[in-house]
Amino acid sequence: MLIFRTKSDIQRHLNAFNSAENKIGFIPTMGALHQGHISLIDESVKRGLYTICSIFVNPTQFNDKRDLENYPRTLDSDIQLLEKSGCNAVFVPSVEEIYPSEDTRKFSFGNLDSLLEGKHRPGHFLGVAKVVSILFEIIKPDFAFFGSKDYQQVLVIKELTKQLNLPITIVPCSIIREKDGLAMSSRNTLLSETERKAASLIPELMKKVKEWKGRGLLISEIKQKIETELAKNPIYKLEYFEVCDKTTLFPLNELTPNIKPIALIACFVGKIRLIDNLEL
């Protein structure tokens, strides 16, 4: 696997590349790689694409400085994991390489900016849009793969690609879960043993939502039950739980047959903020 640290090096490599014969599959990451990331690489490799991964902890998408400082950084083991996957090349730029000067661009994603993650992490999607557009510009992939745990991020990136008119197919991939159902996330490594055990309640509750919906409960009743369950243990701090329209993410007050619903949750377990979602 080739390792590139600068834009000019990876671009020189890609310029010599026969893009008519080889299509590029790209997996942008912030490192601390786990099986969820590897499943994205597998998806690209399975499609016969020249597979490039990037590892870059993007400072502009963190609205909390401490969160940025604490974000796990495990470059050596990431590279080992990538070597074993079918990844062809990895791009590991520095902050100066991606942002040689302040990126003052603005993007607007309508409701996506102000709902759920957009509301609770102001500026987060602006930072994601900045870095993803820069990485897309450098790598010029044909396909880019993203995990559906960050469901709203996938919608934002699809919208970004549309707004910038980029010829890139965005491929959302299924959430990969631990044995107890917890959605894989780089942040899971930051949980203490007690928090890790407690975290499994989140996917359990999401499963129950499906069951409650099946039993005909109203969305307001489902929300109430989620709040009650999480309030039983002070380790949890619910940030939001919503049932939304799958395509617009507009929160729903009632279920109607013509709208496909998705349940989304963000909840602190101790100091660690976890998110999950389930199509209903």
Closest by CA to 120, choosing from 30, 240, 206, 223, is: 240
* Span from 15-23, 127-135, 193-201, 262-270 in contact with ligand PAF (CB under 6 A): 127-135
* Active-site residue, selected from the candidate residues 13, 37, 120, 124: 37
**Strand partners for 52:** 26, 89
Question: Considering the rule CB under 6 A, would residue 131 count as an interface residue with ligand PAF?
Answer: yes
Which residue reads 């970004």 in tokens?
160
Closest by CA to 49, choosing from 85, 28, 26, 23, is: 23
| Contact criterion met (CB below 8 Å) for 54 and 93 | yes
The verdict on whether 13 is a catalytic residue reads no
| Contact criterion met (CB below 8 Å) for 222 and 213 | yes
The binder of ligand PAF chosen from 14, 32, 98, 128 (CB under 6 A): 128
SS3 content of the chain, % helix, strand, coil (to 5): 45, 20, 35
**Binding pattern for the stretch 22-51 against ligand PAF, x by CB under 6 A and - elsewhere:** ------xxx---------------------
Q: d(Cα 73, Cα 92) in Å, to the nearest integer? A: 12
Closest by CA to 40, choosing from 24, 53, 58, 50, is: 53
Question: Considering the rule CB under 6 A, would residue 139 count as an interface residue with ligand PAF?
Answer: no
Choose between 32 and 201: whose C-beta lies nearer to ligand PAF.
32
CB of 47 to ligand PAF, least distance (A): 19
Choose between 160 and 226: whose C-beta lies nearer to ligand PAF.
160
Binders in 140-199 for ligand PAF, by CB under 6 A: 150, 153
Choose between 55 and 269: whose C-beta lies nearer to ligand PAF.
55
Neighbours of 264 (CB within 10 A): 21
Binders in 54-73 for ligand PAF, by CB under 6 A: 58, 61
Closest by CA to 146, choosing from 2, 5, 26, is: 26
CB of 256 to ligand PAF, least distance (A): 31
CB of 40 to ligand PAF, least distance (A): 10
Phi, psi at residue 57, to the nearest 5°? -80, 105
Cα 264 from chain centre: 13
* Span from 10-18, 39-47, 125-133, 190-198 in contact with ligand PAF (CB under 6 A): 125-133
CB of 220 to ligand PAF, least distance (A): 32
Choose between 134 and 209: whose C-beta lies nearer to ligand PAF.
134
Closest by CA to 239, choosing from 203, 274, 194, is: 274
Choose between 85 and 261: whose C-beta lies nearer to ligand PAF.
85
| Site residue total, ligand PAF (CB under 6 A) | 10
Q: Is 185 helix (H, G, I), strand (E, B) or coil?
A: coil
Binding site for ligand PAF (CB under 6 A): 28-30, 58, 61, 128, 131-132, 150, 153
- Tell me which residues are annotated as active site: 37
